[in-house]
Amino acid sequence: MTYPMSRQRRLDPPDELFDDPAPVRPLTFADGHVGWLVRGHAAGRAVLADPRFSAEPDRQHPLVASRHLPKGRVPPGFFLRMDAPDHTRYRRLLTGHFTVRRMNQLQPRIEEIAASCLDDMERAGPPADLVRDFALPIPSLVICELLGVPYEDRENFQNESARLLRLDSSPGEMESAINDLIKYFYTLIARKRVEPGNDLLTALIGGGELEDDEIAGMGFLLLVAGHETTANMLALGTFALLEHPEQLALVRDDPTVIDNAVEELLRYLSIIHVGPTRTAVEDVVIEGTTIRAGECVALSIPAANRDPSRFADPCALDVRQPAGSHLSFGHGIHQCLGQQLARIEMRVAYPALLRRFPSLRLAVPAEEVPMRADMSIYGVHSLRVTW
């Protein structure tokens, strides 16, 4: 089989992922390489935690024909696609900036940003595009303030991010988007050497341990990851709640459910549409299957998060159901650095939206909502709502 992409229902993973209950099954990659699809929860955790699997792209095969960068085209500092010890070095420099305590200190500012977006929506009146007016501005403004990126530059970096994430982007288009974002960060770094601020880029510059190309690569990774993932969770999560009004009512009316509601939405929706991928650097046995050195594996986060051996009634959305240990933030050394920030943004945004507009509803039929099936991060391109 090839990597399943087509979703038969908007909020559910492709049916093909569940045709075979085996946690590890053969998979043909876009270039003809025969590797493995990992779809079981325990198997996925095992792969992500095992240092015998490499994240380096030079070792890997493309899942989608157009999405394969030239060999070695990982910017310095882009530690998501690096193994130890390089990954360890970069991540260590950032960990202290993303502690639970530091992220909690941002909550009042996140509440202000969410309230401001809702004020603007209320003044403009219905209908509104929830992506444009709420889901995208909140994490974009938060990550801009955290990094020290001017928010007025958002149209540029959001467009470049979209080019990187489109599944039909050619290698040349992806290369161009990377180059444009790296150049943008070089400009910012030069500016901050003259006019330092109270932000992460300034801190990395002042630390003296990194070259400018490394800071640019780290900034590029944090900026793209810091707004794209949460923006899509906010919009798609709202769509899911609107499609499950009894769940929406719980999130709106019962403050005690929000922490678990966020985890359940992360599990149920699993917005990582493609990958991640890893390559075995030596023979490894996963759930009884031997993966040979050099073979590539693709993990399906949506399938792992719907694994009935791990989650009770996995295809149901239940914001009261304990949803811990989902793989939506990954696992192991590459587990999402900004996961606590994303959680706080969602914990603030969902209740604020639903309480401000208790009659919130879709302004178009659900089947007309444009889904991001063409992107590596799933979600909605727009979400027209009224109240």
> pLDDT tens, 317-371?
999 988 778 999 999 999 999 999 999 999 999 999 999 999 999 999 999 999 9
pLDDT band at 71 (very low <50, low <70, confident <90, very high): low
The pLDDT of residue 66 is: 67
Tens digit of each residue's pLDDT (9 = 90 or more) over 157-192: 888 888 888 898 888 888 888 999 999 999 999 999
pLDDT of residue 70: 58
Write down the pTM of the prediction: 0.95
* Position 69 pLDDT exceeds 70: no
Dihedral of alpha carbons 62, 174, 9, 258, sign: positive
pLDDT at 261 over 80: yes
Residue 328 confidence (pLDDT): 97
Closest CA to 385 of 243, 272, 230: 243
pLDDT tens string 2-26? 999 899 999 999 999 999 999 999 9
| 183 phi/psi in degrees, rounded to 5 | -60, -40
**Average pLDDT for 106-115:** 97
pLDDT digits (tens, 9 = 90+) for 275-295: 899 999 999 999 999 999 999
End-to-end CA distance of the chain: 44
Could you give the C-alpha distances from 179 to 74, 154, 238, in angstroms and in order? 11, 17, 34
What percent of the chain is modeled with pLDDT above 90?
84
User: How many other C-beta atoms are found inside a 10 Å radius of the C-beta of residue 243?
Assistant: 15
Residue 279: its pLDDT value, please? 97
Looking at residues 292-301, what average pLDDT do you find?
97
CA–CA dist 87, 165 (Å, integer): 22
Distance, CA of 277 to CA of 68 (rounded, Å): 12
pLDDT at res. 67 = 66
What average pLDDT is seen over the chain? 94
In angstroms, how far is CA 150 from the centroid of its own chain? Answer: 22
CA distance 148 to 333: 26
List the beta bridge partners of residue 37.
Answer: 25, 298
Give the CA distances from residue 110 to residues 98, 105, 338, 342, in Å, rounded to whole numbers and listed in that order.
15, 10, 15, 11
- Checking if the pLDDT of 255 tops 90, the result is yes
